[in-house]
Chains A and B, each alone.
Chain A
Amino acid sequence: MSTSLSPEQEELRATVERFARNEVAPVIAKLYEQEEFPYDIVAAMGRMGLFGLPFPEEYGGMGGDYFAFCLALEELARVDSSVAITLEAGVSLGAMPIFRFGTEEQKREWLPRLCAGTMLGAFGLTEPGGGSDAGATRTTAHRDGDEWVLNGTKAFITNSGTEITGLVTATAVTGRDHEGRPRISSIIVPAGTPGLTVAKKYSKVGWSSSDTHELAFDDCRVPAANLLGEEGRGYAQFLRILDEGRVAVAAMSVGLAQGCVDESLRYMGEREAFGRRIGEYQALQFKLADMEARTHVARLAWRDAAARLTEGRPFKKEAAVAKLVASDAAMVNAREATQIFGGYGFMNDSPVGRFYRDAKILEIGEGTSEVQRMVIAQAMGLPRPH
Chain B
Amino acid sequence: MRFMNVVVCVKQIPDPAAPARLDPSTWTLEREGKLILDESDSYGVEMGLQLADQAGGGEVTLVSMAPRNETSGLRTALAMGAARAILVSDPVLGGSDALGTAKVLAAAIRRAEPDLVVAATESTDGYTGTLPVQLAELLGFPSVTFVKKVTVGDGKVHVERQTEAGFDEVETPLPAVITVTAGVVEPRYPSFKGIMAAKGKPVDQLTVADLGLPEGSVGAAGARQEVVSVEPAESRKAGEIIVDEGDAHTRIVAYLEQLKVI
Pairwise interchain contact A49-B192, C-beta atoms closer than 8 A: yes
Complex alpha-carbon distance, A48 and B190, angstroms: 6
Pairwise interchain contact B189-A62, C-beta atoms closer than 8 A: no
Which residues in A have their C-beta under 8 angstroms from that of B79? 11, 15
Residue of A nearest to B75 (CB): A11
Q: Is A53 an interface residue when CB atoms closer than 8 A count as contact?
A: yes
Among B79, B192, B196, B199, chain A packs the most CB atoms within 10 A around the CB of B192
Q: Is B76 an interface residue when CB atoms closer than 8 A count as contact?
A: yes
Q: Is B174 an interface residue when CB atoms closer than 8 A count as contact?
A: no
Q: Is A7 an interface residue when CB atoms closer than 8 A count as contact?
A: yes
Considering only residues 45-76 of chain B, those with a C-beta below 8 Å from chain A are 72, 75-76
Partner of A64 from the list B36, B189, B190, B192 (CB cut-off 8 Å) is B192
Complex alpha-carbon distance, A19 and B192, angstroms: 13
Pairwise interchain contact A7-B192, C-beta atoms closer than 8 A: no
A57 CB → nearest B CB, Å: 7
Q: Digit string of A11-50 for contact with B (CB within 8 Å is 1, else 0)?
A: 1101100110000000000000000000000001001110
Q: Is B195 an interface residue when CB atoms closer than 8 A count as contact?
A: yes
Q: Is B260 an interface residue when CB atoms closer than 8 A count as contact?
A: no
Residue of B nearest to A68 (CB): B192
Considering only residues 58-77 of chain A, those with a C-beta below 8 Å from chain B are 62-64, 68
Pairwise interchain contact B195-A8, C-beta atoms closer than 8 A: yes
A60 CB → nearest B CB, Å: 11
A323 CB → nearest B CB, Å: 24
Partner of B190 from the list A7, A15, A63, A68 (CB cut-off 8 Å) is A15
Pairwise interchain contact B189-A8, C-beta atoms closer than 8 A: no
Could you tell me how many residues of chain A have their Cβ less than 8 Å away from some Cβ of chain B? 18
Pairwise interchain contact B191-A49, C-beta atoms closer than 8 A: yes
Pairwise interchain contact A63-B189, C-beta atoms closer than 8 A: no
Complex alpha-carbon distance, A49 and B197, angstroms: 14
Partner of B75 from the list A7, A44, A48, A57 (CB cut-off 8 Å) is A7
Contacts A7-B75, A11-B75, A11-B76 known; A47 to B195 CB distance under 8 Å? no
Pairwise interchain contact B76-A49, C-beta atoms closer than 8 A: no
Pairwise interchain contact B189-A53, C-beta atoms closer than 8 A: no
Partner of A62 from the list B36, B76, B193 (CB cut-off 8 Å) is B193
Q: Digit string of B92-118 for contact with A (CB within 8 Å is 1, else 0)?
A: 000000000000000000000000000
Q: Give the tally of cross-chain contacts (CB within 8 A).
A: 47
Which residues in A have their C-beta under 8 angstroms from that of B249? none
Residue of A nearest to B190 (CB): A15
Q: Is B188 an interface residue when CB atoms closer than 8 A count as contact?
A: yes
Partner of A12 from the list B36, B188, B192 (CB cut-off 8 Å) is B192
B129 CB → nearest A CB, Å: 24
Could you tell me how many residues of chain B have their Cβ less than 8 Å away from some Cβ of chain A? 15
Q: Digit string of B158-190 for contact with A (CB within 8 Å is 1, else 0)?
A: 000000000000000000000000000000111
Which residues in A have their C-beta under 8 angstroms from that of B189? 15, 18-19, 44, 47-48
Q: Digit string of A160-186 for contact with B (CB within 8 Å is 1, else 0)?
A: 000000000000000000000000000
Pairwise interchain contact A11-B193, C-beta atoms closer than 8 A: no
Pairwise interchain contact B188-A57, C-beta atoms closer than 8 A: no
Which residues in B have their C-beta under 8 angstroms from that of A53? 192
Contacts A11-B75, A11-B79 known; A62 to B188 CB distance under 8 Å? no
Pairwise interchain contact B76-A63, C-beta atoms closer than 8 A: no
Which residues in B have their C-beta under 8 angstroms from that of A64? 192, 196
Pairwise interchain contact A11-B195, C-beta atoms closer than 8 A: yes
Which residues in A have their C-beta under 8 angstroms from that of B199? 7-8
Pairwise interchain contact A12-B193, C-beta atoms closer than 8 A: no
Complex alpha-carbon distance, A53 and B36, angstroms: 23
Pairwise interchain contact A15-B195, C-beta atoms closer than 8 A: yes
Considering only residues 193-225 of chain B, those with a C-beta below 8 Å from chain A are 193, 195-196, 198-199
A10 CB → nearest B CB, Å: 9
Which residues in B have their C-beta under 8 angstroms from that of A18? 189
Residue of A nearest to B78 (CB): A11
Pairwise interchain contact B188-A63, C-beta atoms closer than 8 A: no
Complex alpha-carbon distance, A19 and B189, angstroms: 7
Complex alpha-carbon distance, A7 and B75, angstroms: 9
Among B72, B75, B191, B196, chain A packs the most CB atoms within 10 A around the CB of B191
Complex alpha-carbon distance, A18 and B191, angstroms: 13
Pairwise interchain contact A62-B75, C-beta atoms closer than 8 A: no
Residue of A nearest to B199 (CB): A8
Partner of A57 from the list B36, B76, B193 (CB cut-off 8 Å) is B193
Complex alpha-carbon distance, A44 and B221, angstroms: 47
Pairwise interchain contact A62-B191, C-beta atoms closer than 8 A: yes
Pairwise interchain contact A48-B191, C-beta atoms closer than 8 A: yes
Among A47, A48, A68, chain B packs the most CB atoms within 10 A around the CB of A48
Q: Digit string of A121-140 for contact with B (CB within 8 Å is 1, else 0)?
A: 00000000000000000000
Which residues in A have their C-beta under 8 angstroms from that of B76? 11, 14-15
B193 CB → nearest A CB, Å: 5
Residue of B nearest to A17 (CB): B17
Which residues in A have their C-beta under 8 angstroms from that of B75? 7, 11
Complex alpha-carbon distance, A12 and B190, angstroms: 8
Complex alpha-carbon distance, A57 and B192, angstroms: 11
Complex alpha-carbon distance, A64 and B196, angstroms: 9
What 5 A-B pairs have minimum CB-CB distances, sorted nearest first? Answer: A49-B191, A62-B192, A64-B192, A48-B189, A62-B193
Give residues in B with beta carbon < 8 Å to A: 36, 72, 75-76, 79, 188-193, 195-196, 198-199
10 A–B contact pairs at CB < 8 A? A7-B72, A7-B75, A11-B75, A11-B190, A14-B36, A15-B76, A15-B189, A44-B189, A48-B191, A49-B192
Extra inter-chain contacts (13) besides given A8-B199, A11-B76, A62-B193, CB under 8 Å: A7-B199, A8-B195, A8-B196, A11-B72, A11-B198, A12-B192, A12-B195, A15-B189, A48-B191, A49-B191, A62-B191, A63-B192, A64-B192
